[in-house]
Amino acid sequence: MTESMDRRDFSRATTAAAAAAGLSSLGPRALATAATANTTLPTRELGKTGQRVSMLGLGGEHALSKPENDAQAEEIVQRALDLGITYVDTAQLYFPSEKYVGQGLKGRRDKVFLTTKIDPRDPEEAKPLIERSMKLLDTSQVDNLNIHKVRNLEDVERITKKGGLLDLVQKMKDEGVTRHLGITGHYTPEALIEMMGRGDFSFVLLPVNPTDGHHLPFLAARKEARKRGMGVIAMKVSARGRFFKECGVQRMDDLLTYALSQDVDVAIVGVENVAQLEDNVRIAKNFTPMSPEDQLRLETEMKPHTSIGNFYKPGGAGWLD
The pairing of beta strand 203-207 with beta strand 56-58: unpaired
- CA gap 61, 269 in Å, rounded: 9
Has this prediction a pTM greater than 0.85? yes
Q: What is the pLDDT of residue 317?
A: 86
Residue 25 burial (CB count, 10 A): 11
- Spell out the per-residue pLDDT of the chain, length 321, in tens: 333 334 333 333 333 333 333 334 577 767 666 444 445 899 999 998 999 999 999 999 999 999 999 999 999 999 999 999 999 999 999 999 999 999 999 999 999 999 999 999 999 999 999 999 999 999 999 999 999 999 999 999 999 999 999 999 999 999 999 999 999 999 999 999 999 999 999 999 999 999 999 999 999 999 999 999 999 999 999 999 999 999 999 889 999 999 999 999 999 999 999 999 999 999 999 999 999 999 999 999 999 999 999 999 998 987 654
| 177 within domain boundaries | yes
| 193 within domain boundaries | yes
Q: What is the pLDDT of residue 1?
A: 36
| 314 within domain boundaries | no
Concatenate the DSSP letters of all residues of 40-89 into one string. Answer: S--EEE-TTS--EEESEEE-SSGGGGSTT-HHHHHHHHHHHHHTT--EEE
For residues 56 and 287, the answer to whether their CB atoms sit within 8 Å is no
The pairing of beta strand 43-45 with beta strand 52-54: antiparallel
- CA gap 71, 75 in Å, rounded: 6
Per DSSP, 124 falls in state H
Q: Where are the beta strands (DSSP E) in the chain?
A: 43-45, 52-54, 56-58, 87-89, 113-118, 142-147, 178-184, 203-207, 231-235, 266-269
| 264 within domain boundaries | yes
- CA gap 121, 79 in Å, rounded: 35
For the CA atoms of 89, 182, 191, 130, the dihedral, rounded to the nearest 10 degrees, stands at: 70
Q: What is the pLDDT of residue 30?
A: 73
Q: What is the pLDDT of residue 37?
A: 42
| 319 within domain boundaries | no
> How big is the chain by its Cα radius of gyration, in Å?
18
Q: How far is CA 64 from CA 85, 117, 141, 185, 264, in A?
A: 16, 15, 21, 21, 24
CATH number of the domain within which 153 lies: 3.20.20.100
How many structural domains does the chain have?
1
- The residues, ordered by sequence, that sit 6+ positions from 314 with a Cβ below 8 Å of its Cβ are 187, 188, 216, 321
- CA gap 221, 214 in Å, rounded: 15
Task: Note down the domain range covering 224.
Answer: 16-309
Q: What is the pLDDT of residue 28?
A: 72
| 300 within domain boundaries | yes
| 166 within domain boundaries | yes
Q: What is the pLDDT of residue 13?
A: 34
